[in-house]
Amino acid sequence: MTDIHRRAFIRVTSGVAALGATIGFPSLALGAARRVVVVGGGVGGSTVAKYLRKLDSSIAVTLIETKPNYTACFMSNEVLSGERTLESLTFGYDGLRRYGVEVVRGTVVGIDPVKKTVQTAGGESFNYDACVVSPGISFKWEAIEGYDEKVAAETVPHAWNAGPQTLLLRRQIEAMPEGGHVIIAAPPNPFKCPPGPYERASQIAMYCKHHKPRAKITILDPKDAFSKQGLYTEGWTKLYGYGTDNSMIDWIGAAGGGKIEELDPTTLTIQAEIEEFQGDVVNIIPPQKAGAIAFAADLADGDWCPVDKRTFESQRHKDIYVLGDASSAAKMPKSAYAANSQAKVAAAAIVNRFQGLEPGDPTFVNTCYSVVGEDFGISVAAVYSLDTHTNTITPIPNSGGVSPANASPEIRKREVSYAHSWFKNVINDMLE
Amino acid sequence: MNREDTMFKQVRNLILAVLVLLPVTVLAAPSGQALSFTCAGCHGTDGSSVGPSMPAIAGMDPEVFVDAMKAYRNNQRNASIMNRIARAYSDEQFKAMAWFFASQRLYLKPQEYDAALATRGAGLHDKYCEKCHENGGRPGDAGTLAGQWMPYLEYSMDDFLNGKRKWPRKMKRKVDAAIAEEGPDAVSTLIHYYGSQQ
């Protein structure tokens, strides 16, 4: 038995609540409310906006986002199999407004770290005491000859941000003849959603198994290994004949010439390092870097934005915080849960700074589910602490890791339902 | 100096004393709040889950919370992921999170249930479960059942009945008796009863 006593505990918490009110008061007494401008309404931006208001409702929070609604990229592979609609992944920002967040539609084009202002394409300017930048990823269009934004929008979708390209890819798979060939070109590390390309192959296979059982899916990969590889291999073997001559899925890694160099969009032919591949449907997920504003605002060093991992404050400009996929947050992956976890660390750090307090020790979690097929879910989890000497977010030893190999069918089935509940709770924690 | 002034000074001194201590405590390790915030992506903001397979943990009794986390850490539950996560934390951190979640209000999301089954379950609950799961299974000294997500309760009961989770003291006897009285769908009626409390 533990030594917690409920009544004693309740006394302690009421004491702390009273104290919280006392701490909050002096910042009000100083006069003008502190102002935080959040750039980007994805997982990082929405979560930090909500938690800033939750932790200190005296802070004025403005969130600036280009799109009127949020469309989750996580779970969007299920649109490709027909398991869910894009609408089921789309959410408005009214939940954030209920927390007192001012949500503004606009595209941020510049941040002045000296005057502490944020500029939008529409010519508006917003003052801040702290600015949080969470723009997600952008693509290195120059990396693959013959592939550009126009080709992606019209014929060879990347579908690596959920939206019209997700629907385009779904339509192409549905229109593909029986026995057709789907090519998925996976990106090099680091990229958003490390298990995503492999879940995508799985979801497409799940659809084809019922509707086009002779279809083939080839994953061309510039890497020699990938996230949850053992579990994917197990699932593909059980569900899609992987490893046999009749396998629906084929994976070609770096050693086999999986790195792609050029696309001919008219014939849907890919020139890879060793041979050519021709598909009926081609999906190229290009190499990635931080979102555009990270470069415009001089927050990136190379492809990503270096941050102090205790607070997620930029190491290039004071009072600007960079969250989520755009930040350089090794050893956390670029995932929704990671961005959500980082956002809460940043929110607490910003509140502490406004109150003249040092930031607390951060703690981070990542969890990520993938649905490999019917009743076959897998997951990866990690709990991290900060190694302050190396500024590295480090998994806590002997914890975390992937689902066990050869788990019972019942556990695999449960992980599918956990994946869907995970989705609801991540959305809840960022937007509701 | 009158009595009120003295009290004011005592309270002020107490607050100051805690204020002096506070930053030190914060620096020593992640706070209970910081640790607990990381759970929300799976268990909902402050533990009020909106995902039917993930249990709500807001308002949970702190002892039940710590016991559950220790069981996960020791691989004593038929866990898919919580065992991997629980291994990252110390007993002190379990307690810190337990305190946080115990102090959170539980917001329930309505779920669909079968009214006829729920009525039968209500009778069974009063007879066999109420003694430990008081007030219809509201948060208390045993696990929260009232308004808990039904799919989660089904997983839990499957694990108990299939020998994959250790029964708490007396629970097996009570469940066996409920099944003997009501038949094989006794557990299902109970789950619908808990799901009906919204």
Best to test chain B binding among A355, A396, A398, A424 (most B CBs inside 10 Å): A424
Chain B hits for A345, CB-CB cut-off 8 Å, are 34
Question: In the numeric block, which tokens belong to residue A430?
Answer: 């960022």
From the centroid of its chain, how far is CA A430? 13
User: Do both A96 and A215 map to the same domain?
Assistant: no
Chain B hits for A341, CB-CB cut-off 8 Å, are 37-38, 41
What is the domain count for chain B? Answer: 3
Q: pLDDT tens-digit profile of A32-91?
A: 799 999 999 999 999 999 999 999 999 999 999 999 999 999 999 999 999 999 999 999
Chain A hits for B53, CB-CB cut-off 8 Å, are 414, 417-418, 420-421
User: Do both A120 and A148 map to the same domain?
Assistant: no
Containing domain of residue B4, as a range?
Answer: 1-29
Which of B50, B72, B107 is at the close of a domain?
B107
What is the domain count for chain A? Answer: 2
Q: Which residue of A has its CA nearest to B86?
A: A399
Best to test chain B binding among A423, A425, A431 (most B CBs inside 10 Å): A425
pLDDT (tens place) for every residue of chain A, 432 residues total: 333 444 344 434 444 443 443 344 444 445 579 999 999 999 999 999 999 999 999 999 999 999 999 999 999 999 999 999 999 999 999 999 999 999 999 999 999 999 999 999 999 999 999 999 999 999 999 999 999 999 999 999 999 999 999 999 999 999 999 999 999 999 999 999 999 999 999 999 999 999 999 999 999 999 999 999 999 999 999 999 999 999 999 999 999 999 999 999 999 999 999 999 999 999 999 999 999 999 999 999 999 999 999 999 999 999 999 999 999 999 999 999 999 999 999 999 999 999 999 999 999 999 999 999 999 999 999 999 999 888 899 999 999 999 999 999 999 999 999 999 999 999 999 999
- Residue A352 CA to residue A293 CA, distance in Å, equals 26
User: Do both B14 and B62 map to the same domain?
Assistant: no
Chain A hits for B49, CB-CB cut-off 8 Å, are 421, 425
Q: pLDDT tens-digit profile of B33-89?
A: 999 999 999 999 999 999 999 999 999 999 999 999 999 999 999 999 999 999 999
Is the Cα dihedral A224, A230, A234, A236 positive or negative? negative
Q: Name the residue with tokens 């065992």.
A: B83
Å from B103 to nearest chain A CA?
Answer: 7
In a domain, A432, yes or no: no
Chain B hits for A6, CB-CB cut-off 8 Å, are 61-63, 102
Please calculate the CA angle A8-A10-A12 and round it to the nearest 5 degrees: 70
Chain A hits for B18, CB-CB cut-off 8 Å, are 15, 19
Indicate whether B6 pLDDT > 80: no
User: Do both A45 and A157 map to the same domain?
Assistant: no
User: Do both B49 and B69 map to the same domain?
Assistant: yes
Chain A hits for B38, CB-CB cut-off 8 Å, are 341, 344, 363-365, 383
Q: Which residue of B has its CA nearest to A377?
A: B80
In a domain, A411, yes or no: no
Å from A347 to nearest chain B CA?
Answer: 11
Amino acid identity of residue B29, one-letter, is A
Amino acid identity of residue A155, one-letter, is T
Which of A360, A386, A402 is at the close of a domain?
A360
User: Do both A252 and A238 map to the same domain?
Assistant: yes
Indicate whether B93 pLDDT > 90: yes
Question: In the numeric block, which tokens belong to residue B136?
Answer: 């219809």
Q: pLDDT tens-digit profile of A353-380?
A: 999 999 999 999 999 999 999 999 999 9
Å from B41 to nearest chain A CA?
Answer: 4
pLDDT, position B85 = 98
For every residue of A213-267, DSSP letters joined together read TT-EEEEE-SSS--TTHHHHHHHHHHHH-TTSTT-SEEEE-GGGT--EEEEETTT
Chain A hits for B60, CB-CB cut-off 8 Å, are none
- Residue B159 CA to residue B168 CA, distance in Å, equals 13
Which of residues 45 through 84 in chain A touch B, CB cutoff 8 A?
Answer: 51
Give the CB-side neighbour count of residue A337, counting CA atoms within 13 A: 29
In a domain, A400, yes or no: no
Are A414 and B41 a contacting pair at CB < 8 A? no
User: Do both B126 and B181 map to the same domain?
Assistant: yes
User: Do both B17 and B70 map to the same domain?
Assistant: no
In a domain, A171, yes or no: yes
User: Do both A155 and A244 map to the same domain?
Assistant: yes
Q: What is the mean pLDDT of residues B100-129?
A: 97
Q: Could you tell me if A22 lies within 8 Å of chain B, comparing CB atoms?
A: yes
User: Do both B160 and B141 map to the same domain?
Assistant: yes
In a domain, A305, yes or no: yes
- Residue A391 CA to residue A196 CA, distance in Å, equals 27
- Residue A24 CA to residue A268 CA, distance in Å, equals 61
Amino acid identity of residue A394, one-letter, is T
User: Do both A282 and A156 map to the same domain?
Assistant: yes
Which of B53, B85, B107 is at the close of a domain?
B107
- Residue A264 CA to residue A282 CA, distance in Å, equals 11
- Residue A310 CA to residue B104 CA, distance in Å, equals 26
User: Do both B93 and B64 map to the same domain?
Assistant: yes
User: Do both A281 and A296 map to the same domain?
Assistant: no
Write the residue in B61, B88, B151 that is nearest to A399 by C-beta.
B88
- CATH number of the domain enclosing A203: 3.50.50.60
Are A9 and B62 a contacting pair at CB < 8 A? yes
Q: Could you tell me if A353 lies within 8 Å of chain B, comparing CB atoms?
A: no
User: Do both A255 and A305 map to the same domain?
Assistant: no
Q: What is the mean pLDDT of residues B123-141?
A: 94
- CATH number of the domain enclosing B35: 1.10.760.10
User: Do both A76 and A198 map to the same domain?
Assistant: no
User: Do both A161 and A272 map to the same domain?
Assistant: yes
pLDDT, position A29 = 46
From the centroid of its chain, how far is CA A79? 17
Write the residue in A362, A414, A428 that is nearest to B45 by C-beta.
A428
Best to test chain A binding among B15, B53, B103, B109 (most A CBs inside 10 Å): B53
pLDDT, position A388 = 86
Please calculate the CA angle A174-A177-A179 and round it to the nearest 5 degrees: 115
Q: Name the residue with tokens 């009020």.
A: B48
Best to test chain A binding among B33, B61, B80 (most A CBs inside 10 Å): B80
Å from B182 to nearest chain A CA?
Answer: 27
- Residue A396 CA to residue A404 CA, distance in Å, equals 18
Those residues whose C-beta lies under 8 Å from the C-beta of residue B1, and which sit 6 or more positions away, are: none
Are B41 and A341 a contacting pair at CB < 8 A? yes
Q: Are strands A35-39 and A130-133 parallel, antiparallel or unpaired?
A: parallel
Tell me how far apart the terminal alpha carbons of chain A are, to the nearest angstrom.
36
User: Do both A184 and A156 map to the same domain?
Assistant: yes
Phi-psi region of A298 (alpha: psi -120 to 50; beta: other; left: phi over 0): left
Are A2 and B63 a contacting pair at CB < 8 A? yes
CB A240 within 8 A of CB A229: no
For every residue of A351-364, DSSP letters joined together read HHHHTTPPPPPPEE
Answer with the residue of higher pLDDT: A206 or B26. A206
- Residue A77 CA to residue A63 CA, distance in Å, equals 28
Q: Look up the ipTM and state it.
A: 0.92
pLDDT, position A32 = 75
User: Do both A160 and A70 map to the same domain?
Assistant: no
Which of B107, B124, B148 is at the close of a domain?
B107
- Residue A118 CA to residue A109 CA, distance in Å, equals 8
Are B51 and A424 a contacting pair at CB < 8 A? yes
- Residue A278 CA to residue B129 CA, distance in Å, equals 64
Containing domain of residue A272, as a range?
Answer: 144-286
User: Do both B155 and B185 map to the same domain?
Assistant: yes
- Residue B81 CA to residue B43 CA, distance in Å, equals 13
In a domain, A329, yes or no: yes
pLDDT, position A31 = 58
Which of A306, A328, A360 is at the close of a domain?
A360
pLDDT, position A46 = 98
Which of A252, A271, A286 is at the close of a domain?
A286
Q: Which residue of B has its CA nearest to A335?
A: B41
Chain A hits for B39, CB-CB cut-off 8 Å, are 365
- Residue B9 CA to residue A19 CA, distance in Å, equals 15
- Residue B42 CA to residue B67 CA, distance in Å, equals 20
User: Do both B75 and B129 map to the same domain?
Assistant: no
Question: In the numeric block, which tokens belong to residue A263?
Answer: 């696309």
Q: Which residue of B has its CA nearest to A43?
A: B41
In a domain, A228, yes or no: yes
In a domain, A421, yes or no: no
Chain B hits for A358, CB-CB cut-off 8 Å, are 23, 26-27
